Amino acid sequence: MRYLKDSQTKELKIRLKWDIYESLKDISLQEGKSLNFVINELINKEVKILQYNNQNQFFIEKPRIVFDKKNIKLFHNDFIKVDFSEYVGRVNLLITSPPYNLSIEYGKHNDSLDYEVYLEFTKQWLTKAYELMADDGRICVNIPLDKNKNGLKPVYSDFVEIAKRVGFKYQSTIVWNEQNISRRTAWGSWLSASAPYVIAPVEMIVVMYKKQWKRLNKGESTINKEEFIEWTNGVWTFSGESKKRVGHPAPFPLELPRRCIKLFSYKDDLILDPFVGSGTTLISAFQEGRKAIGTEIDERFINLAMSRINSSLFVQQNLI
Ligand SMILES: C[S@@+](CC[C@H](N)C(=O)[O-])C[C@H]1O[C@@H](n2cnc3c(N)ncnc32)[C@H](O)[C@@H]1O
């Protein structure tokens, strides 16, 4: 092994310090902030991420299964902490909408994290998911295009960037035209070029995969010709779900997991939803003849999901 001579180490250190200084100076100039401010901002960001990681490290939760019927399993756990070693490399399709960090009142989950900490949370759950996916496993993640509460952030592009760093490969993006007209009222400067806001009333469904897109083994598809032709067009138009009707602050409609499941998975595949909420993905998996597992951190939503899944099993049984 070769060691750096003392004089070389010294020179390397000076060069590194100089590079860091130059980068910080560039940021300071670009953002019109003092160098001191930029350095403090950077330190604060790092400290917050460290604190977040310290709180979350070292805990592994035993799986607490609360529902196990007809190949549908629900766990009352934190997805990042739960010991899911028995599922490593087995998940064929992940469908979820993670917490959006839009200060939604979830109960157990803090949905007002600093953006940098939120991105760290995103990295952690994606890393866990990566482990659980089969080599030809796919993910469909429903996230906003951007966020404009407490500072504008390009959530979608940051998400894709992190997922790529974790190891996922990019396949495509479906634009869900949710037609949510309530978002059409934040104009910024009305009828003036002073500071108008442009808001797209859509959400994204990011489609990525672990190692290879083509499935390794053939299975039984359950999609028909009309569905295939319509859904392979990457703009999907259907309404969102009513929070009041479902009793959850951010449910997606059954149509969303239904399309993903039929388009991207075979019958009997294993579907995972790390953020179950009111249980929509698990219900859809059951209806489409897939196996499913999911985790939810909050007891209120665990009860809600169980009751919704039970009702859907009951309906199906009475139809047969
Ligand atoms: C956007 S909602 C999902 C809604 C779901 N798609 C539906 O249709 O009802 C996100 C859910 O993730 C849960 N959650 C947040 N952090 C979690 C974690 N670390 N592990 C498991 N669940 C979590 C929240 O309690 C919330 O119910």
Q: How many CB atoms lie within 10 A of CB 130?
A: 17
Residue range 62-319 in CATH 3.40.50.1970: no
Please give the distance, rounded to the nearest whole angstrom, from the Cα atom of residue 142 to the centre of ligand 1.
Answer: 12
Ligand 1 and 78: CB distance under 6 A: yes
* CA–CA dist 166, 121 (Å, integer): 12
Query: Is the Cβ–Cβ distance between 73 and 302 less than 8 Å?
Result: no
Quote the CA–CA distance of 307 and 182 in Å, as a whole number.
Answer: 30
Q: What is the pLDDT of residue 211?
A: 98
Q: What is the pLDDT of residue 182?
A: 62
The pLDDT of residue 142: 97
User: Could you tell me if the CB of 118 is within 6 A of ligand 1?
Assistant: no
What three-state secondary structure class fits 312? Answer: helix
pTM of this structure: 0.85
109 lines ligand 1 (CB under 6 A): yes
CA of 60 to the centre of ligand 1 (A): 19
| CA of 263 relative to ligand 1 center, distance in Å | 23
Of ligand 1's atoms, which has the minimum distance to the CA of residue 96? Answer: 6
Ligand 1 within 6 A of CB of 277: yes
Which atom belonging to ligand 1 lies closest to the Cα atom of 298?
Answer: 25
Which pLDDT belongs to residue 45?
79
Contact (Cβ atoms closer than 8 angstroms) between residue 84 and residue 73: no
19: tokens are 């590079």
Cβ contact 72:282 at 8 Å: yes
How close is the Cα of 95 to the center of ligand 1, in Å? Answer: 12
Sign of CA dihedral 156, 163, 124, 132: positive
pLDDT by residue for the chain (320 residues), tens only, comes to: 466 677 878 888 888 888 888 888 888 898 898 988 888 888 887 777 777 777 666 678 999 999 999 999 999 999 999 999 999 999 999 999 999 776 666 666 676 778 888 999 999 999 999 999 999 999 999 999 998 776 788 999 999 999 999 999 999 999 999 877 565 667 888 999 999 988 888 999 999 999 999 999 999 999 999 999 999 999 999 999 999 999 999 999 999 999 999 999 999 999 999 999 999 999 999 999 999 999 999 999 999 999 999 999 888 777 65
Domain ranges of the chain: 62-319
Cα 50 to averaged position of ligand 1 atoms, centre (Å): 23
Distance between CA atoms of residues 241 and 261, nearest Å: 18
Residue of 76, 83, 204, 297 to mutate, ligand 1, most atoms within 8 A of C-beta: 297
Q: How high is the pLDDT of residue 274?
A: 98
* Ligand 1 atom, smallest distance to 248 CA: 9
Angle between helices 280-287 and 299-319 (to 10 degrees): 20
Q: Whose CA is nearest to atom 3 of ligand 1?
A: 277
302-306, Cβ contacts within 8 angstroms, sequence gap of 24 or more: 302/66, 302/74, 302/76, 302/276, 304/246, 304/247, 304/248, 304/278, 304/279, 305/67, 305/74, 305/276, 305/277, 305/278, 305/279, 306/66, 306/67, 306/74, 306/279
- Residues β-bridged to residue 68: 73
Residue 121 has which token pair? 């949370």
Q: Which of 153, 104, 121 is nearest to 49 (CA)?
A: 121
Q: Which residues of 37-76 are buried (b: 16+ CB within 10 A; e: fewer)?
A: ebbeeeeeeeeebeebeeeeeeeebebeeebeeeebbbbb
**Distance between CA 74 and CA 95 in Å, rounded?**
14
Distance 79 CA to ligand 1 centre (A): 10
Kindly state if the Cβ of 142 falls inside 6 Å of ligand 1.
no
What pLDDT sits at residue 311? 92
- Ligand 1 site, residue 278, Cβ cutoff 6 A: yes
